[in-house]
């Protein structure tokens, strides 16, 4: 595949890495709307008796685990009072929270069918490319069980019992409960619109949750909270842009829905960036090294293992449409890096080790480099082609 440049990762012999048939690689792409893939590029899917029916369609190998030194576990234990005072206050009480039904036709009302017809009338002129991106965003939200699972792999902050009263665990469960409304609301709205193939969408969700994700966080809460800081910012931008486009297409209710979800993501971004800010205060050297580590491998999107049973490159194609219509772009990626560098005052860090200084220099110069690479990639970009999307009944879109 000529759009890949392979960077071998030689760390597969370390004790924290499982044995694999292939060495771990960071796979980066010339088309910068496609995020780097950290792990093993999935082999061609096996068919017939060679493929075990219970295995996910994409398998990752050689995943590094438990990279945080054990002595740093105490940092997160000591931060529990801080988490209670600074994180849990950012949660909204359930009784004061919006619910999906606040935005949807009321099935108990006599005017339910008329309300559904009004919804369908509003959405009938919205273009297919918008719906593909909205579906991709919804599927990403619906894979929430994977994200809670990922956070509960992090050493020192995981929910040890499933109902732990520890502040880190309370935050993770309540964050999950708030996020759960996002996919629920978008799913129902899309279902009522009649514009999309719900069965193929539902298959994609099941495939994605079954495949999981490996963002390269290595059970390390430093990496984990850097990752979630980035992702909450990315989803805030993405939902904000779908809100803007929905308004342009004349669906004010859908714009309100996407804007409300974006506001949640912004509040969650505030929480996760506060955590990393605190880590910079306590352990600036360790935190900047982890930030550089995450940025070097490039942040993998949560739904990078997306598959609908038909398109082996579904995430790439969905991302291409999102880039084309301006929902989430390579420029947004660079802007997020720049935002986080400023948010955490990375340029002003002092007293760093040699490794810390090198990490600081790398991170502070990254956003301009990404923008330059994006300009070159755009100049080299191949002509677009038409590809079918199962989510819109096989209709073709430009990617």
What would the pLDDT profile of 147-158 be if each residue is shown by its tens digit?
A: 999 999 999 999
Selecting among 98, 202, 260, 270, the annotated active-site residue is 98
Give me the residues paired with residue 185 across strands: none
Annotation marks residue 98 as catalytic = yes
Q: If you ran DSSP here, which 8-state letter would residue 1 be given?
A: -
* Higher pLDDT among residues 138 and 21, named by residue: 138
pLDDT of 111 reads 97
- Predicted confidence at residue 396, as pLDDT, reads 98
Q: Are 6 and 356 in contact (CB under 8 A)?
A: no
Say if CB 226 and CB 215 are below 8 A apart.
no
Tokens of 211: 């495949």
Q: Which one is catalytic: 129, 184, 197, 264?
A: 264
Catalytic residue among 159, 168, 184, 268: 268
Cα 84 to Cα 36, 163, 171, 267, 328: the distances in Å are 35, 16, 9, 16, 33
Question: pLDDT digit string (tens) for 77-119?
Answer: 999 999 999 999 999 999 999 999 999 999 999 999 999 999 9
The band of 384, judged by pLDDT with boundaries at 50, 70 and 90, is confident
Cβ contacts of 107 within 8 Å, gap of 6 or more: none
Instruction: List residues bridging with 6 in a β-sheet.
Output: 27
Residue 59: per-residue pLDDT: 65
pLDDT of residue 61: 60
Q: Is 118 noted as a catalytic residue in this protein?
A: no
pLDDT > 70? residue 32:
no
pLDDT tier at 42, thresholds 50, 70, 90: very low
Residue 332 burial (10 A CB sphere; 0-12, 13-18, 19+): buried
Q: Which two tokens stand for residue 154?
A: 């992090």
- Nearest alpha-carbon partner for 261 in 184, 200, 335: 184
Question: Does residue 159 have an active-site annotation?
Answer: no
Place of tokens 């949560």: 302
User: Is 182 a residue of the active site?
Assistant: yes
Is the torsion defined by CA of 302, 307, 312, 318 positive or negative? negative
Tell me, yes or no, if 357 is annotated catalytic: no
| Distance of alpha carbon 352 from alpha carbon 334, whole angstroms | 25
The one catalytic residue among 137, 197, 251, 265: 265
311 is catalytic: no
Gap between the Cα atoms of 396 and 208, Å rounded = 22
Cα–Cα nearest to 316, from 325, 332, 305: 305
- How far apart are alpha carbons 306 and 185 in whole angstroms? 20
Q: Mean pLDDT, to the nearest integer, of 8-26?
A: 39
Query: Between 58 and 298, where is the model more confident?
Result: 298
- Given this model, what pLDDT does residue 378 score? 80
Predicted confidence (pLDDT) at residue 199 exceeds the cutoff of 50: yes
Decide if 61 is catalytic: no
**In Å, how far from its chain's centre is CA 103?**
24
DSSP 8-state code for residue 52: -
Confidence band, pLDDT 50/70/90 cuts, at residue 49 = low
Q: Is 1 exposed, middle or buried (0-12, 13-18, 19+ CB in 10 A)?
A: exposed
Burial of 269 (0-12, 13-18, 19+ CB in 10 A): buried
pLDDT in tens, 50-82: 667 777 776 666 778 999 999 999 999 999 999
Residue located via tokens 């000591």:
78
Task: List, in sequence order, the alpha helices (H) in 54-166.
Answer: 73-78, 80-86, 112-123, 128-142, 144-151
Is 30 exposed, middle or buried, given 0-12, 13-18 or 19+ CB atoms closer than 10 A? middle
Active-site hit among 123, 137, 140, 141: 141
What does the DSSP assignment read for 169-229? Answer: HHHHHHHHHHHHHHHHHHHHHHHHHT-S-HHHHHHHHHHHHHH----S-TT-HHHHHHHHH
pLDDT of residue 54: 73
Q: What are phi and psi of 106, to 5 degrees?
A: -85, 110
178 noted as active-site residue: no
112-123 helix and 167-193 helix, angle to the nearest 10 degrees:
80
pLDDT for 26 beyond 60: no
Percent of the chain with pLDDT over 90: 80
Q: Of these residues, 137, 155, 171, 182, which one is catalytic?
A: 182
Tell me the mean pLDDT in the region 318-323.
Answer: 96
| Cα–Cα distance, 352 to 244 (Å, whole number) | 42
pLDDT recorded at residue 11: 38
Across all residues in the chain, what is the average pLDDT? 89
E strands, 234-302, where?
A: none
Catalytic-labelled residue, pool 159, 197, 232, 316: 232
pLDDT value for 243? 98
> Catalytic annotation on 41?
no
**Side-chain half-sphere exposure of 145, counting CA atoms within 13 A:** 8
Torsion of CA 309, 237, 27, 65, to 10 degrees: -90
Q: What is the pLDDT of residues 209-241, one digit of tens each?
A: 999 998 999 999 999 999 999 999 999 999 999
Q: Read off φ and ψ for residue 39, nearest 5 degrees.
A: 145, -135
């Amino acid at each position: 595949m000529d759009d890949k440049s392979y960077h071998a990762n030689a760390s597969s012999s370390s004790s924290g890495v499982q044995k694999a048939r292939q060495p771990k690689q960071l796979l980066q792409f010339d088309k910068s709307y496609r995020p780097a893939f950290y792990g093993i590029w999935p082999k061609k899917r096996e068919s017939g008796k060679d493929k075990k029916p219970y295995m996910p369609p994409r398998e990752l190998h050689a995943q590094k685990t438990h990279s945080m030194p054990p002595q740093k576990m105490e940092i997160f234990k000591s931060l529990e009072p801080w988490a209670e005072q600074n994180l849990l206050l950012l949660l909204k009480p359930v009784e004061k929270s919006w619910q999906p039904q606040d935005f949807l036709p009321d099935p108990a009302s006599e005017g339910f069918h008329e309300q559904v017809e009004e919804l369908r009338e509003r959405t009938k002129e919205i273009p297919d490319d918008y719906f593909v991106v909205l579906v991709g965003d919804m599927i990403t939200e619906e894979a929430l069980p994977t994200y809670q699972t990922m956070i509960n792999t992090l050493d020192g902050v995981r929910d040890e019992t499933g109902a732990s009263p520890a502040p880190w665990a309370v935050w993770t469960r309540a964050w999950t409960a708030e996020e759960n409304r996002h996919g629920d609301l978008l799913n129902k709205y899309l279902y009522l619109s009649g514009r999309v193939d719900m069965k193929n969408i539902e298959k994609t969700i099941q495939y994605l949750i079954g495949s999981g994700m490996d963002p390269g966080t290595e059970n390390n809460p430093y990496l984990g909270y850097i990752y979630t800081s980035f992702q909450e910012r990315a989803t805030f931008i993405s939902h904000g842009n779908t809100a803007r486009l929905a308004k342009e297409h004349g669906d004010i209710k859908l714009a309100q829905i996407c804007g409300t979800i974006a506001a949640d993501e912004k509040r969650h971004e505030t929480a996760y960036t506060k955590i990393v800010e605190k880590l910079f205060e306590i352990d600036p050297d360790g935190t900047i090294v982890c930030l550089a580590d995450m940025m070097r491998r490039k942040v993998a999107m949560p739904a990078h293992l997306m598959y609908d049973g038909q398109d082996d490159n579904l995430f790439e194609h969905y991302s291409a449409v999102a880039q084309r219509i301006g929902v989430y772009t390579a420029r947004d990626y660079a802007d997020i890096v720049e935002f986080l560098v400023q948010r955490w005052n990375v340029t002003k860090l002092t007293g760093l080790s040699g490794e810390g200084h090198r990490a600081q220099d790398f991170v502070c110069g990254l956003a301009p480099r990404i923008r330059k690479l994006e300009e070159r990639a755009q100049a080299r970009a191949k002509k677009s082609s038409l590809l079918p999307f199962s989510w819109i009944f096989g209709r073709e879109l430009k990617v």
